[in-house]
Every structure is written in structure tokens, then in C-alpha cells.
């Protein structure tokens, strides 16, 4: 391994998804766009860096795969700040859909079902999907029709706010049905 020189010590390693800036641009010629967004033409990299320094700005490679690569004269710190702000705004605007689960049994009574329906409505109003699980224990597995009836009853009770994304189906000793919020919220 070659010894570390003074030049190697001063350079910080580049970030993986950051564009190359100033001395990190290694190509001989680049197409230059000024800070106003106008195409200045093709220049030698040294000339382009001199133009950027003259304005007190950085030369930032914006399209490295183009022939020749496209570089923009701009303030790199400001560019990073704006990119960070855009990403934060995008994260803020995205909605995360969670999957909530409601468990019932074939013998679950009417009042308990009303409580479950209330909970399902709350989940759907929050924009979450709901997984309804009917759990069979012991000999109850012989009465799958009762479990399917429970699923259908729940789906009918919330049909104004939900759509059945996946109909009831057996999964081992339990029956599973998926509900999603309907598009037409009132």
C-alpha cells in the first residue's frame, strides 16, 4: 500500500449520493450552466472552476453521465440545504398505512361485535387497513361457515367506509379477511 501523502490527508471522502464538486470533477471538459440557468457552453474543467471561483461559487456536477458532463455554477451549501428541505417535505407529506388487526371467534356475541365494528370504523377513518381474524379452537374448526358468516357480517356493518380487499379465506386454524378504507369518504 502506498504511503499517505499530504494531499490524501486533506481530502475528505465523497458522500455516496452527493454530486462531485470543484476539484473532485476529474473530466477534461464540461458543459457549464451559470447560476441563472443559462447554458454557457463547453469549457475545460480548469476554466469552468476559475469562472465559478470568480463569482464566489462552486462548480457542481449535475449530470455526470452526459457527454460531456454537465456542471452548474452554484453555491453547493445552498444546494444541499434545498435538497434536504425537499426530502423533509416529501417525508412529511407521505402517509403511512398501518395494518390493524381485529380478532373475533365464531361464538362472538352481538354486543361484542358492535364494539369491534366501532373499533374497525375508527381504524378505517384513520386511513389504516384492517385485518379481521376469526380464530377457531378445538371442534369449532368443523364450522367454518360460522366464521365466514362472522366475516361477512362485519363487512356489511362497515360497507359504507370500507371495501373488502381480500375476501375471507382459511389460513391454518384461522380465517382471515382484509378491509381497506373506501375512496369515497363522506
One digit per residue, the tens of pLDDT, for the chain of length 186 reads 555 555 445 555 555 677 888 888 888 999 999 888 888 899 998 999 999 899 889 999 988 888 889 999 999 888 889 989 999 998 888 878 889 999 999 999 999 999 999 999 999 998 899 999 999 999 999 989 999 999 999 999 999 999 999 999 998 999 999 999 987 654
Sheet holding 99-104, edge to edge: 99-104, 129-135, 174-181, 162-171
CA dist., res. 181 & res. 129, Å (int) = 7
Q: Tell me which CATH code domain 99-181 carries.
A: 3.30.110.10
CA dist., res. 132 & res. 154, Å (int) = 9
pLDDT at 4: 55
pLDDT at 186: 40
Assigned architecture for domain 6-92: Roll (3.10)
Domain boundaries of the chain, sorted by first residue: 6-92, 99-181
Grid cell listed for 123 = 381504524
pLDDT at 111: 94
CA dist., res. 182 & res. 186, Å (int) = 10
Beta strands in 105-161 (DSSP E): 129-135
Amino acid at each position: 500500500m502506498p504511503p499517505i501523502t499530504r494531499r490524501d490527508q486533506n481530502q475528505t471522502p465523497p458522500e455516496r449520493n452527493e454530486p462531485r464538486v470543484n476539484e473532485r470533477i476529474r473530466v477534461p471538459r464540461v458543459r457549464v450552466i451559470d447560476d441563472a440557468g443559462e447554458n454557457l457552453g463547453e469549457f475545460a474543467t480548469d476554466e469552468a472552476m476559475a469562472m465559478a471561483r470568480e463569482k464566489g461559487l462552486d462548480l457542481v456536477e449535475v449530470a455526470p453521465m452526459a457527454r460531456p458532463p454537465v456542471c452548474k455554477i452554484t453555491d453547493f451549501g445552498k444546494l444541499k440545504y434545498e435538497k434536504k428541505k425537499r426530502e423533509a417535505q416529501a417525508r412529511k407529506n407521505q402517509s403511512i398505512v398501518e395494518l390493524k388487526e381485529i380478532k373475533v371467534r365464531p361464538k362472538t356475541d352481538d354486543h361484542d361485535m358492535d364494539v369491534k365494528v366501532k373499533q374497525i370504523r375508527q381504524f378505517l377513518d384513520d386511513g389504516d387497513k384492517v385485518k379481521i381474524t376469526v380464530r377457531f379452537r378445538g371442534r369449532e374448526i368443523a364450522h367454518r361457515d360460522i366464521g365466514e358468516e362472522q366475516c361477512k357480517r362485519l363487512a356489511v356493518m362497515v360497507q359504507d367506509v370500507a371495501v373488502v380487499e381480500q375476501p375471507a379465506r382459511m389460513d391454518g386454524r384461522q380465517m382471515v379477511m382484509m378491509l381497506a378504507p373506501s375512496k369515497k369518504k363522506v
